[in-house]
Structure 1
Amino acid sequence: MNEQGRVAVVTGSARGIGLATASLLRERGLRVAIVDSDLEAAKEAAVGLDPRGDTVSAVQVDVLDADSVTAMVEEVVSRFGGVDVLVNNAGITSQGPSQDVTDEAWDRLLGIHVGGTFRCSRAAFPALAASGGGAIVNLASIAARVGLPQRLSYCTAKAGIEGMTRTLAVEWAPHGIRVNAVAPGWTRTRLVDDTIKRGLINEARLNALIPLGRLAKPEEIAAAIAFLASSEASYITGQTLYIDGGVTIQLPV
Structure 2
Amino acid sequence: MTGTFEGQVAIITGGSDGIGLATATLLARRGAQVIICGRRQALLDNARAQIMTEGGAVETVQLDVADDRALTAMIETTVQKYGRLDMLVNNAMSTHYAPISKLTLDHWRKDFAVNADAVFISTKAAMRAMAAQGKGSIVNIASTCGIRAATNMASYSASKAALIHFTAVAAMEGGRQGIRVNAIIPGQVQTSSTEEFTARAPDVAARTTDAIPMGRGGRPDELAEAILFMLSDAASYITGTALPVDGGKAAQLYMPS
User: Counterpart of 2:88 in structure 1: which amino acid?
Assistant: L
Q: Indicate the SS of the match to 1:211.
A: coil
Q: Indicate the SS of the match to 1:92.
A: coil
Q: How many pairs were matched up?
A: 253
CA displacement at 1:52 relative to structure 2: 10
Aligned counterpart, 1:189: 191
Distance in structure 2 (CA, Å) of the matches to 1:195 and 1:189: 10
Flag as ranges the 4+ runs of structure 1 deviating above 4 A: 51-54
8 Å contact 2:100–2:152 — kept in the other structure? yes
User: Counterpart of 1:164 in structure 2: which amino acid?
Assistant: F
Distance in structure 2 (CA, Å) of the matches to 1:22 and 1:138: 14
Distance in structure 2 (CA, Å) of the matches to 1:47 and 1:113: 27
Aligned counterpart, 1:162: 164
Choose from 242, 245, 249 the match for 1:243: 245
My pick for the range that moved more, 66-75 or 148-157, is 66-75
My pick for the range that moved more, 42-51 or 5-14, is 42-51
The TM-score with structure 2 as length reference comes to 0.93
Q: Indicate the SS of the match to 1:238.
A: coil
Distance in structure 2 (CA, Å) of the matches to 1:159 and 1:149: 15
Distance in structure 1 (CA, Å) of the matches to 2:159 and 2:54: 38
Q: Indicate the SS of the match to 2:149.
A: coil
Aligned counterpart, 2:38: 36
Residues 200/155 of structure 1: CA separation in 2 closer, same or farther (3 Å cut): farther
Aligned counterpart, 1:18: 20
Say if 2:225 is the partner of 1:226: no
Deviations 1:59-85, CA, capped at 9 Å, x for gaps:
123222221112111232233332100
Please list every run of 5 or more consecutive structure 2 residues that lacks an aligned counterpart in the other structure: none
Choose from 115, 136, 142 the match for 1:113: 115
8 Å contact 1:140–1:182 — kept in the other structure? yes
Distance in structure 1 (CA, Å) of the matches to 2:32 and 2:88: 12
Q: Indicate the SS of the match to 2:34.
A: strand
Please list every run of 5 or more consecutive structure 1 residues that lacks an aligned counterpart in the other structure: none
Q: Indicate the SS of the match to 2:120.
A: helix
Identity %: 39
The TM-score with structure 1 as length reference comes to 0.95
8 Å contact 1:88–1:138 — kept in the other structure? yes
What RMSD, in angstroms, separates the aligned Cα atoms of the two structures?
1.6
8 Å contact 1:47–1:53 — kept in the other structure? no
8 Å contact 1:14–1:41 — kept in the other structure? yes
User: Counterpart of 1:185 in structure 2: which amino acid?
Assistant: G
Residues 54/232 of structure 1: CA separation in 2 closer, same or farther (3 Å cut): closer
List aligned pairs for 1:53-64, cutoff 5 A. 55-64=57-66
